[in-house]
Amino acid sequence: MTPAGKIELLLHSKKKQLAVLIDPDKWNSENAKQQGALYKAAGVDFLLVGGSLNAASDFNERVEYLRKSCPLPLVLFPGHPLQLTKHVDATLFLSLISGRNAEYLIGHQVVSAPYLHEWKQEVIPTGYMLVNGGNTTTAIYISQTVPLPNDKPEVAAATALAGKYLGLRCFYLDTGSGADFPVSQELIYAVKKTTQLPLIVGGGIVNEQQAHAAWQAGADVVVMGTAVEQNPEILFEIQKLNAL
């Protein structure tokens, strides 16, 4: 088994972790250092970089700038091989195991692997599982896959267990950006109990109560994106509740 790198070891820690999903297109160069300092002061553990659509020709340059201006670890959350970059601390090597689209199960991975190997980058084999959040999100539309039902935790648990037996070392449950509601506590609990592996949960989490509900159900990392873009101060509210 490949030795765990520093980000994977972080995922295995007992601490309840908070990550912010960053779209490099929206990273404001005028106040980048202030944003990064704010995230660090708010107790954010690392930044996820990427998304379903972002594959701009200058993606690599944007992430390089983000690397220089932000004090937090960067973890790539790629939606396409065009988003690969060496300017991150680790890459989530995603396989969309909730769907049956071969491009997202193995196709894009074959294209991506030689680059990651050349860069000697920390790579974390991750089972990416889209969950129904009440609407058709960009991730669902782009991947052309049917999300897991949010009220069928046994289906999600069986899917994750298959991924574990295939050698995946981390799981990411996501309803997608702009979802009407987040992954249910019952589904989070079932996947964590079944796999006992690091679990990242995101999509539709818009307040501190939802973040803590995910942690309590078994999430190791809660990911927030849109809510933080609209109101960065919510990060401090989450940590206040976490301290109680």
What was the pLDDT predicted at 175? 97
Distance CA 107, CA 118 (A): 19
Question: Where are the extended beta strands (E) located within 2-61?
Answer: 17-22, 46-50
DSSP three-state, residue 214: helix
Distance CA 146, CA 152 (A): 14
What per-residue confidence (pLDDT) applies to 159? Answer: 98
In this predicted structure, what is the pLDDT of residue 224?
96
Rounded CA separation 74/59 (Å): 14
pLDDT given at position 124: 98
Residue 132 burial (10 A CB sphere; 0-12, 13-18, 19+): buried
Give the residue extent of every domain in the chain.
17-243
pTM: 0.95
Q: Where are the beta strands (DSSP E) in the chain?
A: 17-22, 46-50, 74-77, 90-96, 122-130, 170-174, 199-202, 221-224
Nearest Cα residue to 86 out of 108, 63, 65: 63
Mean pLDDT per 10-residue segment, the chain (244 residues): 82 93 76 86 94 72 88 94 93 98 97 96 97 94 95 98 98 94 98 98 96 97 93 91 68
Residue 54: per-residue pLDDT: 59
What span, in angstroms and rounded, lies between the C-alpha atoms of 171 and 182? 16
In CATH, the number for domain 17-243 is 3.20.20.390
